Structure formats: C-alpha cells, structure tokens
Structure 1
C-alpha cells in the first residue's frame, strides 16, 4: 500500500520553517544592505543592492578588540569554573555526612539568586579589591553565578558512574586522587562538555557585569560593543545586525562541535 501523505504535518512543518527562517532572513539581508535602502524598503523587503560596508564598519569600530576581550573572558570563566567544580562535585558525590549535603544545597540555593539583586554588593566588592574596569571584574562574578548550575550538572553526571567501578579501583589499591583522574574524569566528559558550553555561553552573552563593572574602551566586550551602533538620534540597524552575526559565529561554531556532548550531559542532570 502506498503511504498516505500527511498534509497537516507538512503545513505545520512549513509554518515552523517560516517562523525560524524569517528572522534569520531579516538579519542576514539587513546586514548586507546599505542603511538608506534598508530604511526605504523595510526589514522583510527583498534587497535591491548588496554591500559589505556594514561589516567593514563593524571592524572599523573596534570589533576585533571586543572579540578578543570576550574570548579572554570566556576562556577565563570556563577555566575557573572547571577548576572549582570538578573536585567539588566529586567530593559531593563520594563524600558522606551533612557537610557534603549542606554544600550541595547551598549551591542549589544560588540558583534562586539573580545577579540583578546583588549587583550593588558585587560592585562594592570589586571596587574594594581594585579590580574595577578590568576583565577580572567580569570573569569572577560570571564564574560565581555559573557555579550552581555547573555543580548540579556535574554531580548528576558523576552519580551515573557505577559504584562497582569505584569499588573495583579501591580494591586494586587506587587512591581517591587516582580514582578521580583515571575513572571519574574520563566518564564525566559529557558533563564537563556541557558545563564548558554553558559557561562559555553565559560569559559570551553577559551584559550586566560588563556594563556596571567596566567603563574604558580597552575592556569592552562584544555585548557592549554593539552599543556603538546606537545613539540618541537612532540606530544603524544594518551595522548592528552585521555585528550581531559576527558576534554569534564563534559561539555557534563551539556549539556545533559540542552539541552531542551537551545533550548527553543535560540528560544526566537528574542523576540516578
């Protein structure tokens, strides 16, 4: 028998394609149009002339410096979070007693605290430490707010490791440190990849900490650099969208390479 065509499913898929594809078309086409042509035709019009001047203006406004600062912030946040969360999650999973349970609950409590609610104490603390208007002023609070979710993800990933494997290595005379490096780390790659991608995204898209804790041109990141296309009289929408596309490309490439590990790590958040 010939399979019957599902018309409603096809129409639904086409409608969803329009929902996803139309914003992408608007962003890409606007970034390739002159500003006058964009203002005349509108966001969804078919471009009559294409130009790369918008991308050239993005680089002329210091985009490479903003990109370099953002990469430094992202690498610093990911490195700091991994250094702290790996032994912490291992101690929570393998430890016993109220100290480990209390530590885990304390980090879960951090999920309920928004950064906007504590931005003034953070500003005062960063200022007292002499880190204001430095990249460390962005790295440290961003890493701190990424720790609760990272602990939740990695403890779930480590709990999926069978107890028999721990017992077998213990009977072979392996120390806790050797178990951590030879057993736990290799079997927690999905959780580690998830944390790396999550914290990189959080650092890359961060706006509040760079806005409040930095002010000079040399410490600007990509999210603040987008402001250079907006002034009190209006916004250069094609230039702004060109900057958005360029700023999204690096993190999109990272996601494409780590998407399988990201999904696998998120599936193990709840643990056994």
Structure 2
C-alpha cells in the first residue's frame, strides 16, 4: 500500500458545550480603544511632569536669569552652582534631622498600629468595634484645630524646641489612617489560616508574627510610605514646636533662601530637588507593595 492511500488521522474536535466561551462584554472592551481614558491619562501626566520639569530647569539656571525668559525653556547655560550653594550650607544637618524624625515616626506607627489593627480584626465584640470607631475619629480632626493644646502640653512636658516635639504629634496624626489601612489588609487574610495555626497550638502572638505580618506586607509598605511622607513633608509641627537651628528640619530650612530683599529661587528649588530624592528612592523600592496595599489586596 502506498503512502498516498494511508488513512489520515482525523482531528478530534472539542464539543461545543466544553469550549470556553469568551464574554461578549470582555471581548468588546479588550479590542476597543478608549480614547477618553488615554486623553485623561495624558493630561494628568502633563499636570504632574510639567511642574517637575520647570523645577529641575530652574534649579540649573543662574540666579540672575531665574525670573527672565520662558520657564519651560531649557536653560541656555546650565550650572550646578545652586546645588553647591545648598550643599555648602547646613543641608546635611537638616537632612539628618528630617531622616531621624521620619525613621522614628515610622517605627512608632508600625509598633502601635499593627497590634491595634490585629486586635480590631481578631476581636469581634461591640467594645472592640466601638474602640476602633472612636480611634478613627482622629481622621476627621485637623492638626490646626489642636495645635494650641498640643503646644501647651509639649511646653509642660519640657519638650519644646526638641525633635520629640515634632516626632510625637506627627506619629499620633499618622496613626488613624495607618490603622485603617492595616485593618483593611488584615481582613483579607483567610480565616482558615488562623484556624489551622490555632489547631497547631499557636498563640495569638505567634499568629501575629508568623502569619499576619508576612501576609500584610502590602499594607505595611503603604503605612511606611504614608507615615514617612507625613514626617518628611511636615511643616506645621516643626514651625510651631521648634525655634532654634538645632532641631530644624528640611521644610523649615527652605527659609534660609528667603530674605527681606528677595528670594534665591534657583537655590530654593535645588534644595527642594535634593530633599525629595530620598523619599522618592523609598517609593521606588516599595512601589509594588504600596499599590497592592492601596488596592486592598495586600493580604492576598
């Protein structure tokens, strides 16, 4: 028998009822472009990037040309003298104070907010819910409304014009939002995992460190970024609770370039650029976990 007369293998066709059916709505949205969303994203990108570009361009411009010409035009003679002026001043001292404040604030917030969120999620009685809701009232209280009582309290404690006078109120006002984020993250942890560890004889403290914290990295990263930003960009508490140059932070150090005769705009913007680099680096490291925590899927 020749090869031409051999029977060809027939392909087995999958029954129609077993084939995956693609949703018409999903097929419609995946194949159709969305120009409105693209235009909105482009406008948002311009709103964010144009001021950053103008700031970088002005920081590379000489002081005599800062207020002349088009601010969006690249500098004709870029210079790094403004950055040298900033680094030759007390920028290092301001940066170290700000870093100390941010690190201590993050440590206090994590140390207190993680157990509080764990108790709020695992303890399901009316007293725990009432305490959690009362704690969240701090979200609705602005710092400006209590700055005078805080000033009197800090003065009575002898903490005025010290770094703790900045650290403690900053951590206190970062706590409500941090607990709220962590509670939403810890609620995503499956109850079956807690029951399995309980059957193995695990204590609540062991569950916290071996189960809850590893599965809540997204929410914890969100809290770290949020509390660090509150400490790094804080202006009201350092302005009210400090006076001398010793505990001064970066936000107050910007006044060094403001005098009664004018403002050194390029040096001021160079200081802003340098002060934003550390917190931007922290964001780049934890951006994925930060997005996961903000979307409420940090525990999955």
Which of these residues, 170, 182, 185, is aligned with residue 142 of structure 1?
A: 170
| 2:133 pairs with 1:115 | no
In 1, Cα distance between equivalents of 2:252 and 2:137: 30
Q: Deviations over 1:70-92 (max 9, x none)?
A: 00000000000111111111111
Unaligned runs of 5+ in 1: none
Give the direction of change, closer, same or farther, for the CA distance of 1:128–1:21 in structure 2 (3 Å limit).
Answer: same
Deviates more, 1:170-179 or 1:247-256: 170-179
Q: Which moved more, 1:225-234 or 1:189-198?
A: 225-234
Whether 1:164 aligns to 2:192 is yes
Q: CA deviation at 1:138?
A: 0.6
- In 2, are the aligned partners of 1:210 and 1:220 still within 8 Å (CA)? yes
Partner residue of 1:47?
A: 75
- 1:133 match: secondary structure: coil
Relative distance call for 1:8 and 1:121 in structure 2 (3 A) is closer
Flag the structure with more relative contact order, 1 or 2, with Cα contacts below 8 A and sequence separation at least 6.
1
TM-score of the aligned structures, taking structure 2 as reference length? 0.84
Task: Confirm whether residue 128 of structure 1 aligns to residue 164 of structure 2.
Answer: no
Partner residue, 2:272: 244
Residue 229 of structure 1 is matched in structure 2 by: 257
Q: 2:119 aligns with which of 71, 91, 97?
A: 91
Distance in structure 2 (CA, Å) of the matches to 1:10 and 1:97: 47
Equivalent residues of 1:153, 1:269 under 8 A apart: no
Which secondary structure does the structure 2 equivalent of 1:40 belong to? coil
Deviation at residue 201 of structure 1 after TM alignment: 0.5
Report the count of equivalent residues: 270
Q: Which residue number corresponds to residue 20 of structure 2?
A: none
Q: 1:216–1:94: structure 2 CA closer, same or farther, 3 Å change rule?
A: same
**Long gaps (5+) in structure 2:** 1-30
The CA RMSD over aligned residues, in Å, is 2.4
Change (3 A) 1:7 1:139: closer
